[in-house]
Amino acid sequence: MASSKPHPHLLDQVLVEDNSFSKTLILNRPKQLNALSHQMVSRLLELFLAYEKDPNVKLLLLKGSGRAFCAGGDVAAVVRDIREAHWKSGADFFCKEFTLNYIMATYTKPQVSILDGIVMGGGAGASMHGRFRVATENSVFAMPETALGLFPDVGASYYLSRLPGFFGEYVGLTGARLDGAEMLLCGLATHLVPSAKLPLLEEALVNLDSSDPARISAIIDEYSERPYLKGKSAYHRLDVIDKCFSLRTVEAILSALEKEAVNITEDWFSAAIQSLKKASPTSLKISLKSIREGRLQGVGQCLVREYRMVCHVMQGKLSKDFFEGCRAILLDKDKNPKWEPSQLDLISDAVVEEYFSKVDDEEWEELKLPARFNLPGHAIAKL
């Protein structure tokens, strides 16, 4: 990929508002639903590191322009770069993105993300690791990677594995969409604020001369509302989700869901089954193992492991499903990917294990996360 120093016109992809005691960063590619380009990730990382050292900056607000917070990483651009250059150009993007995720997860100042719209994939990575995550009635959260031949990355194996019961496995494997109330109740969001009140909330936050999380939370609480869980929400059926998604293999999960389908006619349930059947079988298997491993690992360990996995995906030796998924979903848009292997039972445990091993390339290196010092208690707990 190009040099990490952004071209001047690309600075417009991340706008900065200077406030008295804070900075507001605005993801600004509204036509692309603020999908993260390599330049945006580089710029965000540069800004986060600079503001952490600036004693005049007490907190950071992060939001998106238009109807999305951020629809994910710009994977179509990643695929294009790989085809024009080398798989390592794709790995470079994820190296920078995962480093940004780690800085956010261990940030010494509060990050308030305003999630008023679409929050998917890389957009979740840019917000879920921060201290405060404000959902609205417009929020739509999803990790749709298995439909693309990828897996929930950006540290998702850390935060999905810490959702109630096995809800994270459900969300990560099926790519299910959650609304603001569901995000709050499962813990992906810390607050639920009506979008009409966001200007008042932002004004109150930018005028706060404090990094005290308790004071920030109290201000957001003033504008928050109680969640209303829709009757058709999957969150009403955590018992069934836990019963099925706690099973050891993807095959067992799918079989259990199909048995339950005799008694459950709700839309979310049939959608979950269909999503699993349409997704890349390889992606499903590595995703389940990744989330399970994430339950026992800190956020840094999760990102290092996910970087190994994503490098194997970019290299394309074990499977080319990612390139086929991007072709079918993002480029040709025929929505009919031809996965190889095409069935779950054709993928051995040995092949799955290879995704978690070091990459066989003499120039390849593990993800080296920056050393972090003087961290607050909530950040230390993630390690």
145 is catalytic: yes
Looking at the chain, how many residues does it have?
Answer: 383
In a domain, 255, yes or no: no
The phi, psi pair for 249, rounded to 5°, reads: -125, 160
What pLDDT, on the 0 to 100 scale, is given for residue 1?
Answer: 39
| Whole-number Å distance between alpha carbons of 148 and 79 | 12
Is omega for the bond preceding 341 within 30 degrees of 0, making it cis? yes
Q: And the tokens for 44?
A: 């965000």
Residue 83 lies in a domain: yes
Instruction: Find the angle CA(378)-CA(217)-CA(158) to the nearest 5 degrees.
Output: 35
| Residue 293 falls in the annotated catalytic set | no
Note whether 82 and 314 are within 8 A (CB).
Answer: yes
367 part of a folded domain:
no
Q: Is residue 337 part of a domain?
A: yes
User: Has residue 121 been placed in a domain?
Assistant: yes
* Domain housing 345: 12-227+278-355
- What is d(CA 364, CA 205) in angstroms, rounded to the nearest whole number? 43
Whether 85 is covered by a domain: the verdict is yes
Note whether residue 20 is domain-resident.
Answer: yes
Q: CA 41 from chain center: how many Å?
A: 14
Of 74, 81, 97, 145, the active-site residue reads 145
pLDDT per residue as tens, the chain (383 positions):
344 455 565 679 999 999 999 999 999 999 999 999 999 999 999 999 999 999 999 999 999 999 999 999 999 999 999 989 889 999 999 999 999 999 999 999 999 999 999 999 999 999 999 999 999 999 999 999 999 999 999 999 999 999 999 999 999 999 999 999 999 999 999 999 999 999 999 999 999 999 999 999 999 999 999 999 999 999 999 999 999 999 999 999 999 999 999 999 999 999 999 999 999 999 999 999 999 999 999 999 999 999 999 999 999 999 999 999 999 999 999 999 999 999 999 999 999 999 999 999 998 999 999 999 999 999 999 99
If DSSP codes are grouped into helix, strand and coil, which group holds residue 23?
Answer: strand
Q: Is there a domain that residue 6 lies in?
A: no
Please tell me which residue in 74, 153, 202, 306 is annotated as part of the active site.
153
In the residue annotation, 153 being an active-site residue is answered as yes
Catalytic status, residue 363? no
The number of distinct structural domains making up the chain is 1
Catalytic residue among 72, 122, 123, 149: 122
Q: Give the separation between CA 319 and CA 324, rounded to whole angstroms.
A: 10
CATH for 113: 3.90.226.10
Contact 1, 38 (CB under 8 A): yes
Q: Cα separation of 247 and 129, whole Å?
A: 27
CA distance 65 to 173: 29
d(CA 97, CA 37): 10
Q: Which one from 72, 73, 175, 294 is the annotated catalytic residue?
A: 73
